[in-house]
Structure 1
Amino acid sequence: MPYETVGGGFELASRTGHAEAVLRSMADQRSFFVPAERVTDLDSLSQRVRRRSDMPAAPVHTLRAALAIDGSRMPAHVRDGLPSVVYGFAQAAAAYLDLQALENQRAVRFVDPVVLEGAVNRALVSLDLPCAGAYEREGVDIKRSWREAVDRIFRTKRVEVNNLNLTLLDLLCLLYGAPGVPATSIEIDCQNTDCKQTRIAVPAAVAAAPIGFPCPACDHPVFPTDILGIHDEVVEEGTNETSLGRLMSVVELLVLVGLVTLLWRQHRADLLPETLFIVDGPLAVMGPPAPLRYRALRYFQAMGGGPAGHMPYIVGVEKTGPIVDFARRLLQHDVLAPGELLVCDARVIGQIYNTDNALGYGKETYWGRKFIYRTADGRVLVPTFVPPAGRPYDRDGGLPDPSSYPQMAAILDVFDRTGSSMYQDGIIPTALAHGSAAFPIGVGTDVLKLVARRKLGLDDAPRHARP
């Protein structure tokens, strides 16, 4: 190459620099079907478009604040020469934004960063555990180690905001109970593979791991957090990053439960109906913890019943995935104009996901319904909305019509008011939450590795001198 090095020679091309070009070329020659690349039946799609201006007017209350929740995770290889040793970090952050202060800054010539910073309040829940190649204690396999670690985390980590001071286990019991009335026990099957005992009522106040609650049939310890099933996907060999992601998503949901419950208890008549809760990602629970999605839907819907009850404004915003790719492709076909919403019924879902069971899509994982919306400034979002009654997805197709979501117009109005240029199709509240939850690269990663070594007791381990 024409660049001369300090040694007087010429720079050599990387021996593997051509790999990406070769792989792309090979993929271009293969024949496979990508629905997002072939948007068809445009007339049918156009019939499913609704204008925001045609939707029912917003409720009496105006949304004056937005509270966004985001999470991140990082598995760290913490020991040179032992790549199988993985320690995991995860955290969930919440960022509260005063929308009125944001609106006031739009009216001035120069934005005051001090005012904007004062309009934001943040909270953070962080956790860590040995993921692979390392264990909570000696004499347990990786599944038992994860079970004990999750139990420890849920008993010690707290969501502390203003007058709210609850452990993750307290919030899990709320989900299995009702608003203001947490469950005192959770029914769990015995985790001993040789035991067939089912539906063991494990008290929430049972002894912490490793003691737990003895199975009445085999005395094998059972923990309340076993109901999540996160340990079911754990393997002895591998990073177990997927399980770490499952744990993070559950913590995000519980943080949402805690913050919504705080306003429901203390300000259900004023602040709660004026606050929009935004989850960075779809309103869904994947993998073994998926049964939580029904608990979450029932819990938040219950807040809308009774005197002075207000169903909280909750929405998820999906940033990646097939439907996001499909949504961006729609712009090339002029299907959506600014201020328009695409109804994703069974026919659209079948086109996006190439499935012959579109009616049953999402019923096992989602507690909100997906739509595609183009904001007034041209951004494309994939939000998921919660119905005040019924299930957004079921085996009969769920609730695809916007009329089932009376809060939709008010939420879309917030999307139009809080556009962010920090990320593609971003909104300011989620950008703030992401900034609080994201693990820093570089020095931040090195610090996490040092912390993990200290927790695993590896920092004082002898090192072999090089010959």
Structure 2
Amino acid sequence: MYPGRYRAHPQTPPYRSECPNCGGPIYLADILRMHELVDDEQGASRITSYLLSALETLALVHVIHALWEMKPILLREFLFIKDGPLALFGQVFTLADPLRDLANFLASYRDPSDPSKVLPLLNVVGLEKSGSFVEHAVHIEKSLDKALAEAKTEGDFAGVVLPLSNEYIYEYVVPGDPGGTITYGQNTYWGGKMIFKAKDGSTYVATVPTLGGHKSDPKIDDYINLTDVLAAVSGLRCSMYDNALIPVALANRLVSLSEVPSSRILESFARGTIRR
């Protein structure tokens, strides 16, 4: 078999494809090519983190697809929060391009009752709790506070946003060549990075999908549904730890504490939110 050289086959029940070279069955996991990382010394241990990343992303896509099948407009009522950046690294980075296409598709949805009106459907954000970007956000805290104070004089707002361009990232956050042929996140991210200072003083390093795919120098208008996403993030803050959000904190508690009380708390939160 030659991974990455599969021909497209019509998918009909039982949804199987065959390798054009050896005639063997092609499984969904084969497309991710993680079997190439299995060796005699480390076995399959190297694929664990990549598999987890892929499953998290596919679970998100599954929920989006389920809502689309029920009623596309329902997607506007949901905010998807990923614990970490909207990115796929290592062996599963090839999923980034299809996810960009998905984001563009959902962002260009037209109102069935008025085709001239575009209703972007996707509300998704990735939030980071640690790493170089979070450390940089701490270092520029005073500048963000000053910008926030100036913005407060202009009326109602969710906070201030610093879009992170390729040049800015390589100059101030991580080492690299801003003039290189490959920009930061070009092959791995399916959203644009930013630092968001909410009006309550909380600071977040966030990733939100951008229109038209990867942007080396994203502008505010490039981010999909940015106003709604950041307004929701601001309203979900809790004090469990620095810059924590209620659903993320509860989900983390669910996997670290006894399942029964934690799951009940998360269920009560979800039911209360749906009723509102």
Q: What's the TM-score bracket when you normalise by the shorter of the two chains?
A: 0.7 to 0.9
Aligned match of 2:114: none
SS in 2 for 1:232: helix
The superposition leaves residues 61-83 of structure 1 with CA deviations (integer Å, 9 ceiling, x where unpaired) of: xxxxxxxxxxxxxxxxxxxxxxx
Aligned match of 2:218: 400
% identity of equivalent residues: 29
Task: Write the distance in 2 (CA, Å) between the matches of 1:423 and 1:240.
Answer: 35
The superposition leaves residues 387-428 of structure 1 with CA deviations (integer Å, 9 ceiling, x where unpaired) of: 2x31233xxx2x411121252122221222111222322111
Residue among 380, 383, 386 paired with 2:203: 380
Task: Write the distance in 2 (CA, Å) between the matches of 1:274 and 1:221.
Answer: 40
Aligned match of 1:200: 7
Aligned match of 1:361: 184
Structure 1 stretches of 5 or more lacking a match? 1-188, 192-196, 442-467
Task: Write the distance in 2 (CA, Å) between the matches of 1:416 and 1:410.
Answer: 10
SS in 2 for 1:289: helix
Aligned match of 1:264: 68
Displacement after TM superposition at 1:369 (Å): 0.4
Shift in CA distance, 236/324, structure 1 to aligned 2, threshold 3 Å: farther
Q: Which amino acid aligns with 2:2?
A: C
Structure 2 stretches of 5 or more lacking a match? 112-118, 149-158, 259-276
User: Is the counterpart of residue 319 in structure 1 residue 139 in structure 2?
Assistant: no
- RMSD over aligned CA atoms reads 2.7
Displacement after TM superposition at 1:242 (Å): 4.2
Aligned match of 1:19: none
User: Is the counterpart of residue 295 in structure 1 residue 102 in structure 2?
Assistant: no
Displacement after TM superposition at 1:213 (Å): 5.3
Task: Write the distance in 1 (CA, Å) between the matches of 2:81 and 2:34.
Answer: 25
SS in 1 for 2:66: helix
* Contact 2:85-2:206 within 8 A present in 1 as well: yes
Query: TM-score, with normalisation over the residues of structure 1?
Result: 0.46
Task: Write the distance in 2 (CA, Å) between the matches of 1:257 and 1:217.
Answer: 30
Aligned match of 2:151: none
Aligned match of 1:348: 168
Aligned match of 1:228: 32
Shift in CA distance, 201/272, structure 1 to aligned 2, threshold 3 Å: closer
Task: Write the distance in 1 (CA, Å) between the matches of 2:9 and 2:2.
Answer: 10
SS in 2 for 1:278: strand
Correspondences of 1:3-402 after superposition (within 5 Å): 190-191=2-3, 198-201=5-8, 204=11, 215-238=19-42, 240-269=44-73, 271-308=74-111, 309-331=119-141, 334-337=142-145, 338=148, 339-351=159-171, 352-357=173-178, 360-387=183-210, 389-393=211-215, 397=216, 399-402=217-220
Displacement after TM superposition at 1:246 (Å): 0.9
Correspondences of 1:445-460 after superposition (within 5 Å): none
Q: Which protein has the larger Cα radius of gyration, Structure 1 or Structure 2?
A: 1
* Contact 1:190-1:220 within 8 A present in 2 as well: no
Q: Which amino acid aligns with 1:349?
A: I
SS in 1 for 2:110: coil
Aligned match of 2:152: none
SS in 2 for 1:392: coil
Q: Which amino acid aligns with 1:350?
A: Y
Task: Write the distance in 2 (CA, Å) between the matches of 1:408 and 1:216.
Answer: 44
Aligned match of 2:252: 434
SS in 1 for 2:130: coil
Shift in CA distance, 267/310, structure 1 to aligned 2, threshold 3 Å: farther
Aligned match of 1:465: none
The superposition leaves residues 240-275 of structure 1 with CA deviations (integer Å, 9 ceiling, x where unpaired) of: 544111111111111111212222232333x32122
Give the structure with the larger helix fraction: 2
Q: Which amino acid aligns with 1:405?
A: Y
* Contact 1:350-1:358 within 8 A present in 2 as well: no
Displacement after TM superposition at 1:358 (Å): 6.0
Query: TM-score, with normalisation over the residues of structure 2?
Result: 0.75
Task: Write the distance in 2 (CA, Å) between the matches of 1:433 and 1:401.
Answer: 32
Displacement after TM superposition at 1:440 (Å): 5.3
Aligned match of 2:269: none
Displacement after TM superposition at 1:355 (Å): 0.4
Task: Write the distance in 1 (CA, Å) between the matches of 2:108 and 2:221.
Answer: 19
Task: Write the distance in 1 (CA, Å) between the matches of 2:136 and 2:17.
Answer: 48
* Equivalenced residues, count: 236
Displacement after TM superposition at 1:239 (Å): 6.9
The superposition leaves residues 202-225 of structure 1 with CA deviations (integer Å, 9 ceiling, x where unpaired) of: 6656879xxx75534334553232
SS in 1 for 2:93: coil
The superposition leaves residues 340-399 of structure 1 with CA deviations (integer Å, 9 ceiling, x where unpaired) of: 222211221112111014661111000000001122232221111112x31233xxx2x4
Higher RCO (C-alpha under 8 Å, 6+ residues apart): 1
Give the structure with the larger strand fraction: 1
Task: Write the distance in 1 (CA, Å) between the matches of 2:43 and 2:238.
Answer: 34
The superposition leaves residues 135-158 of structure 1 with CA deviations (integer Å, 9 ceiling, x where unpaired) of: xxxxxxxxxxxxxxxxxxxxxxxx
* Contact 1:304-1:312 within 8 A present in 2 as well: yes
The superposition leaves residues 283-305 of structure 1 with CA deviations (integer Å, 9 ceiling, x where unpaired) of: 11111211111111112321233
